[in-house]
């Protein structure tokens, strides 16, 4: 199946007794995506990644990587690499030997490739030191080197920037951008919104094991609509006008502090400003405030109320 997508996950469930860690997850990652798998800690991201890599068995559902099932054979991982949680190595072996071991298990112990991978992650100088003495960040970089050894077409990275200092985070992000530029598809799990916003073109936002949104970031912003801040000569009247105006929602605000509202479209905003002028409450200030992704993220992952949880901006796009 040459045209099979890098990742296709359907109805994936992992249950540990009563606990449902992953609950009916569908994912579709297309070639060239930098796909953000975003959610708070404990949302089931790592468990999903482990199932994608064939490390744990799904209770139900299926994973296909380029059309192949990782539960059946490691052959499904041809062209796929990555790590889950913090990458781990044999502490009593040095960094280079650890990579040599993994390369041998790939059937390709080419020294040049190992040196190249060490060079890319900036560990060449420390490669002869035992991994037991590595910092968390160095292990993280060694983990990426180990993943690069396989010359992947698809990289699965679980919180790659965790535990890195700001410089290390920047390097990691630049590297992921480079890799994506080389045509590698990346699935990046993260609880850091900024990271996903910076790197990813598409996201799945997960909450308590379920996907609350899946699609492009631009679409997510658009669907969330925009909110506006409004000040008029008579805010109380403006509130009544706004509440009656079609396409205007959630009019709110304290007396004397102006109002906020959400608009379905710019035309609705134009209609409101006309209606305000006609009603004797002309506009003093009208400022669009684009919803930050952070607002959306919290709305989707914390669900301030039951309604918010049940009906996120839009239901997950069709995986078909």
Partner 1 sequence: MKPGVLTVYRWELRKLRSQKRTYLGLGAAAVVPLIFVVALVTRGGGPNDVAFGRYVHDTGLAIPLVLLLFGSVWMFPLITALVAGDIVAAEDRNDTLKGILTRSVERQQVFAGKALATLSYAVLAIAVTGAVALVAGILASGFNPLVSLSGTRISAISGLGLVGASLLVYLIPIAAIACIGLLLSTVFRNSGAAIVGTLMFSLLVQLVGILPGLEGLHPYLLSTQYNAWQGLLRTPVDWAPILRAAWVCALYALPALAAASLVFLRRDVAGD
Residue 146 Cβ vs partner 1, minimum distance, rounded to whole Å: 7
Choosing from 12, 29, 34, 56, the residue that interacts with partner 1 (CB under 8 A) is 56
Q: How far is the CB of 41 from partner 1 (least distance, A)?
A: 12
Report whether 77 contacts 54 (CB < 8 A): yes
Mark 35-54 with x for binding to partner 1 (rule: CB under 8 A) and - for no binding. -----------xx--x--xx
235-294 residues in contact with partner 1 (CB under 8 A) are none
Could you tell me if residue 208 is left (phi over 0), alpha (psi between -120 and 50 degrees) or otherwise beta? left
- Give me the least distance between CB of 100 and partner 1, in Å please: 9
Nearest to partner 1 of 47, 185 (CB atom): 47
Q: By rule CB under 8 A, what string of x and - marks binding of each residue 69-98 to partner 1? A: ----xxx-xx--xxxxxxxxxxxxx---x-
Residue in the structure block whose two tokens are 């072996």: 93
Q: Give the one residue of 107, 181, 255, 256 binding partner 1; rule: CB under 8 A.
A: 107
CA angle, 266 then 272 then 278, to 5°: 145
The nearer residue to partner 1, 55 or 277, going by C-beta atoms, is 55
Residue with tokens 């975003």: 38
Tokens of 156: 């699965």
CB of 32 to partner 1, least distance (A): 22
- Please identify, using beta-carbon distances, which residue of 94 and 227 lies nearer to partner 1: 94
Nearer to partner 1, 150 or 207 (CB): 150
Task: Compute the least distance from the CB of residue 48 to partner 1, in Å.
Answer: 12
Q: Measured from the CB of residue 255, what is the shortest distance to partner 1 in angstroms?
A: 53
Beta carbon of residue 93, minimum distance to partner 1 (angstroms, whole number): 6
Closest separation in Å from C-beta 112 to partner 1: 16
Nearer to partner 1 among residue 55 and residue 244 (C-beta): 55
Q: Which residues contact 168 (CB under 8 A, 6 or more apart)?
A: 137, 140, 141, 161
**Residue 46 vs 190, nearer CB to partner 1:** 46
106 binds partner 1 (CB under 8 A): yes
Size of the site for partner 1 (CB under 8 A): 36
Q: Residue 60: which of 71, 75, 46 has the closest Cα? A: 71
Give 117 or 212: the residue with its C-beta nearer to partner 1: 117
Chain positions 128 to 167 lying near partner 1, rule: CB under 8 A, are 146, 150
Nearer to partner 1, 50 or 202 (CB): 50
Give the binding site for partner 1 (CB under 8 A): 46-47, 50, 53-57, 73-75, 77-78, 81-93, 97, 101-102, 104-108, 146, 150
């Amino acid at each position: 199946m040459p045209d099979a997508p890098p990742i296709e996950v359907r109805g994936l469930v992992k249950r540990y007794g009563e606990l449902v860690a992953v609950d009916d997850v569908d994912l579709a990652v297309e070639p060239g995506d930098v796909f953000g798998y975003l959610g708070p800690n404990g949302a089931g991201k790592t468990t999903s990644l482990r199932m994608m890599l064939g490390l744990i068995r799904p209770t139900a559902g299926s994973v296909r990587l380029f059309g192949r099932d990782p539960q059946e054979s490691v052959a499904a991982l041809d062209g796929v690499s990555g790590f889950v949680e913090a990458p781990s190595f044999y502490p009593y072996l040095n960094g280079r030997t650890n990579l040599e071991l993994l390369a041998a298990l790939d059937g390709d112990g080419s020294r040049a490739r190992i040196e190249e991978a060490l060079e890319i992650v900036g560990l060449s100088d420390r490669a002869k030191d035992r991994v037991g003495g590595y910092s968390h960040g160095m292990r993280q970089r060694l983990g990426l080197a180990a993943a690069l050894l396989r010359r992947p077409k698809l990289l699965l990275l679980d919180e790659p920037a965790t535990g890195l200092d700001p410089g290390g985070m920047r390097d990691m992000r630049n590297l992921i951008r480079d890799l994506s530029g080389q045509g590698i598809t990346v699935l990046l799990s993260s609880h850091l919104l900024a990271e996903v916003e910076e790197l990813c073109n598409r996201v799945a936002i997960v909450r308590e094991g379920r996907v609350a949104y899946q699609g492009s970031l631009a679409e997510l912003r658009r669907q969330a609509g925009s909110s506006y801040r409004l000040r008029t000569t008579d805010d109380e009247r403006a509130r009544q006008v706004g509440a009656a105006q079609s396409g205007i929602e959630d009019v709110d605000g304290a007396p004397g502090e102006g109002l906020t509202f959400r608009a379905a479209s710019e035309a609705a905003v134009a209609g409101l400003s006309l209606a305000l002028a006609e009603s004797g409450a002309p506009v003093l200030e009208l400022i669009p405030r684009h919803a930050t992704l952070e607002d959306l993220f919290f709305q989707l992952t914390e669900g301030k109320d039951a309604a918010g949880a049940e009906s996120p901006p839009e239901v997950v796009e069709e995986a078909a």
